[in-house]
Amino acid sequence: MALAIRRSTSEVFGAAKWFIRRDCRALSTLPEKAVEVPVEKKRDRPVVSRIRANARNPNLALRHVYPEFLPDPNPKWRNSLREKLERTDMLNRRKQIDIPEFYVGSILAVTVADPHAQGKTNRFVGICIERKGAGLRAEFTLRNVVDHQGVEVRYDLYDPTVHSIQVLRLEKRLDDKLLYLRDALPEYSTFPFDMDPEILPDGTPVPVNPVQVKLKPRPWLERWERQELQGVSNIEEHLKEKDRVRRELRKEPWEKYDLMKQYRKTIPIEDQNDIWAEVNHQLKQLQLTRKKVSRKRTFGVPKTQLG
């Protein structure tokens, strides 16, 4: 708290507000998103259109849940047989452990076998700030602040030393990458290691957390002002006139009309259909078996929750 007092009153107020909201959310059994999403209509629209698109092609929804099943779009590295072998290996690994659905902004707990640790296992809790890589190379980064020290750990998704990946809070953020949390106030990336998992009811869409973080004053690790970030509130405070001018000069508004660039970055729908047709059935089967197992487990659990 002593750290907070030194900052300006408005910052303290903002942080306190955030704390209160977070605590309330942790206490309430309802998913907090159910209240917050309908308020913002603009963000609603893409969700609706996505649902419509999904109604046409149910496979396309999977590309958000399992992005690593799509290969790297660079034609120089593509080979249908290699991709197929890779997918069978990935499915085999998924049969061993439950790799759940998660997004950038979700809070995960990862347990790995660690030959260096005392009990030979190591558990880390943190917010997923980045997720990248295709196939067996898929990896994600967790960030947390432990003892006032920011720590980040990178994990391979299909590493056989990973014993479990648990989603403590399933949600999305406003941006694709949360690397700016490195320059934000530490409150925004502090999560307790003994956090309880929050269970979303079946069938609810994944909530989007519209929290906007506050950055520390400069120097920053990157030029955040040029990246058009949605999840940062106070970026303008720290800018000088010079930075604003440079930002305007560096803008590339024509990028979004570059259809070739879009095409090169993505896998065409025809290719995706083949891939999803191959793996969809097995992924569904895996999900069903997981659900059965988890249902069996929940019979024992409720009493401990009440007590």
Catalog residues that contact other proteins under the rule CB under 8 A. 6-8, 76-79, 81-82, 85-86, 89-90, 92-93, 95-97, 112-120, 122, 124, 135-137, 139, 146-156, 158-163, 182, 216-219, 221
What gap in Å lies between CA 49 and CA 197, rounded to an integer? Answer: 30
Q: How far is the CB of 46 from other proteins (least distance, A)?
A: 33
What gap in Å lies between CA 59 and CA 306, rounded to an integer? Answer: 40
Q: How far is the CB of 225 from other proteins (least distance, A)?
A: 15
Nearer to other proteins, 150 or 210 (CB): 150
Nearer to other proteins, 137 or 291 (CB): 137
Q: How far is the CB of 33 from other proteins (least distance, A)?
A: 29
Bridge partner list, 58: none
Peptide bond into 219 cis (omega under 30): yes
Residue 234 corresponds to which amino acid? N
How many Å separate Cα 63 from the centre of its chain? 14
What gap in Å lies between CA 124 and CA 144, rounded to an integer? Answer: 9
Nearer to other proteins, 92 or 294 (CB): 92
What gap in Å lies between CA 169 and CA 199, rounded to an integer? Answer: 8
Q: How far is the CB of 59 from other proteins (least distance, A)?
A: 24
Nearer to other proteins, 37 or 127 (CB): 127
CA angle 74, 226, 211 (to 5 degrees): 95
Nearer to other proteins, 128 or 200 (CB): 128
Q: How far is the CB of 192 from other proteins (least distance, A)?
A: 13
